[in-house]
A and B are shown apart, each in its own frame.
Chain A
Amino acid sequence: MENTLQAVPQNWYLVLSTFLFCIGVMGVLFRRNAIIILMCIELMLNSVNLLLVSFSAYSGNSDGQVFVFFIMVVAAAEVAVGLALLMSIYRNVASTDINVLNKLKW
């Protein structure tokens, strides 16, 4: 029942994915370029994916890996829509700086 994934202790996965997630969060919080924010969101999603896969492997249940596929599909769709939106925003305001996009306020 040895699994290649189990070659690494589970804590390491946890730590790694936490780091990745935090990097993603920080990126979303502090960067202003919309493309980078999008990439950071992807990073967060993938950190969760990593966690799901590792837990799945350790618990011997494939549900988690199925979820990863779902998430990847959704993420792909999200990136497609997100980039399309960004393109259209860029055409309109010639910028991808999210601080320019503050029209939706009181």
Chain B
Amino acid sequence: MNDNMIQDTLLVTPALLVPLLPLIGFLINGLFGKFLPKTFTGWIAALAILGSFICSVTLFNGVNANSSISIDLFDWIAFNNINISFGFLIDSLTITMLLVVTGIGFLIHLYSIGYMHDDEGFTRFFTYLNLFIFFMLLLVMGNNYLVMFIGWEGVGLCSYLLIGFWFKNTAYNNAAKKAFVMNRIGDLGFLLGIFFMLFYFGSIEYSAVATQAQTLTPNSTLLITITMLLFVGAMGKSAQLPLYTWLPDAMAGPTPVSALIHAATMVTAGIFMIVRSNILFSLAPATLTFILIIGVATSVFAAVIGLLQNDIKKVLAYSTVSQLGLMFAALGLGAFSSGMFHVVTHAFFKALLFLGAGSVIHALHGEQDIRKMGGLGKYIKVTYITFLLASLAISGFPFLSGFFSKDEILAHAFEQNKTVWVILSISSFITAFYMFRLVFLTFFGNFRGTDDTKKHIHESPITMTLPLIILCILAVVGGLLGLPEVFHVQHAFSTYLSSVTEGSVQYLTHHEKVSHSTEIALMSFAGIGAIVVIIFAYSKYVKKNELPAEDSALTGLNKVISNKFYVDEIYETVFVKPITVLSDLFLVLVDKLIIDLAVNATAWIVATTGKTMRLMQTGNTGFYVFAMVIGMMVLLIIRLFI
């Protein structure tokens, strides 16, 4: 015990350094950035994250998977019986996220040094990026929901700043605003959830909430309310139906931002939050069912839209939404560690895909339309190979990282609900199809752009390719973190997280574990299915050389899908328009006409009375005297008789 304490105190410094280093990087670049040489600022930012990463590794080594460290920094909002401290909790779940955030964060910083090299906002970019990492680390490290909320809103702000990074473009600014506002809708839900916990549990610290929640009857209204509200927050941040539309638009930001914020880290915050409160959620099965429905629906819905997108980043964006849906489906099934496992592998391959896409865009000087690409495999080999491997990973190609994490979720689905399993499998095949549609259209065949662009196609510099290679290795072997028990090994990942998730096991309904043979059958089905779909895509886009039609040529269902089911337009008419109309109405009708009229009417009545009364001032002295006498007589009469 004593040894543990010493060990803990030794770990406080690295634990504090983890968020502090990006903050310092942010402050240096933000305050003195313009006095520093340009590349220097990029390296400061990258090194700050590297430092954080090293500290995270120290924590990983130092903190036992079964224990945790709690650090209380200071009382934040504290008076009477409210006591919300600013503190950190570091356990296996936190460390998992720390490693992902700082590790991938560092690689993306490195990549950005090359990618953003010619941008005039170079320093600004790294300033924002460091701030983002800082908030993301607060999000995962907090020991209560409000510290998580700081990070939660903070990453939203950074996302806003970075989506609208090229602030001269109005469309980008609109996308940024949309992202922020939509996130805010979710945040309100989250905040209300916090209020409920604070009010009914008297604390919002994770452990206290979990303890308190266990004293309640499972599935009670209170628990369902709290979990639903928290899930609303997660829907906003993790782009689930119906609050997903901001994420595809968020691709307006620079590509490294899409990789870091809108694929690997920020959007998984919702999953992190639910895993963090897994006991609470497992006590509310009704909410879990709801999460399952939303997750499955989002997964298919976004995958279908992804089929007909022609912007390389939009395809990846819808794929992200779809994969996030898959993760939520896992959570809905009560498979918390599987969900987290997919978060990790997804972070590897989706970050890689975005960075690869960035490399393609870089090579083509900003072209993002896959109809104007083609045959790039010959010119940019590293990008091509890493992108291909990442696509294989996301499609569930056997023995790559995505294969294991996806299959784990599918196996859970199969155990509990066959329908869910069928839908998720379909969604997974659709994913394989559109990913390879993307790969084949981009890297195979002949180049379809202008000759001028063709001349300038070049492989990216080493700072960009190195992260690609490292991520590629991770995307390929990442699955080894969680080899299923079929292979007669312990599931390393879920064992590591077990201290976090074991509390909820007793509240979940138990299902018969599928037998090993069934599991192998499921895996083979998924793997072979993915391969078949890839071959189908190959025959369609490489053999037959089919090209996506021009937007105007689309008809019927295709047109609807290509226009994303007109969801944006529906939101526009249902929410945005009425509010603007209401705003004008309030101002013109209620404010000016009714309320102000009432105020002015009061003034008018006084003025008019005055105007009328002054007519008595005739100037005729006789009349005055007469009035005076009458008045006195009236007073006298009143005095005498009444």
Contacts and interface: CB of A to CB of B under 8 A. Distances in A.
Interface of A: 25, 28-30, 32, 98-99, 101-106
A29 B630 CA distance: 11
A105 B622 CA distance: 13
B625 A102 contact: no
B629 A29 contact: yes
A99 B617 contact: no
Interface string B248-264: 00000000000000000
Interface size for chain B: under 10, 10 to 19, 20 to 34, or 35 or more residues? 10 to 19
A28 B618 contact: no
A16 B440 CA distance: 127
Interface string B588-620: 000000000000000000000000001101111
A32 B193 CA distance: 86
A105 B521 CA distance: 108
B626 A105 contact: no
Contacts of B629: 25, 29
A45 B162 CA distance: 93
B621 interface: yes
A106 B618 CA distance: 7
A99 B624 CA distance: 12
B618 A105 contact: yes
Point out which of A101, A103, A106 has the most chain B C-beta atoms below 10 A from its C-beta.
A106
A102 B626 contact: no
A99 B615 contact: no
A104 B615 CA distance: 12
The 3 closest A-B pairs by CB, nearest first: A105-B619, A102-B619, A106-B614
Contacts of B615: 106
A104 B619 contact: yes
A105 B620 CA distance: 8
Q: Which of B620, B621, B625, B629 is most buried by chain A, counting CB atoms within 10 A of its CB?
A: B621
B620 A102 contact: yes
B617 A106 contact: yes
Nearest to B616: A106
Given A106-B614, A106-B615, A99 B620 contact: yes
A98 B621 contact: yes
Contacts of B619: 101-105
A28 B625 CA distance: 8
A29 B620 CA distance: 11
Interface in B218-244: none
Interface in B551-572: none
B632 to A, nearest CB: 10
A105 B621 contact: no
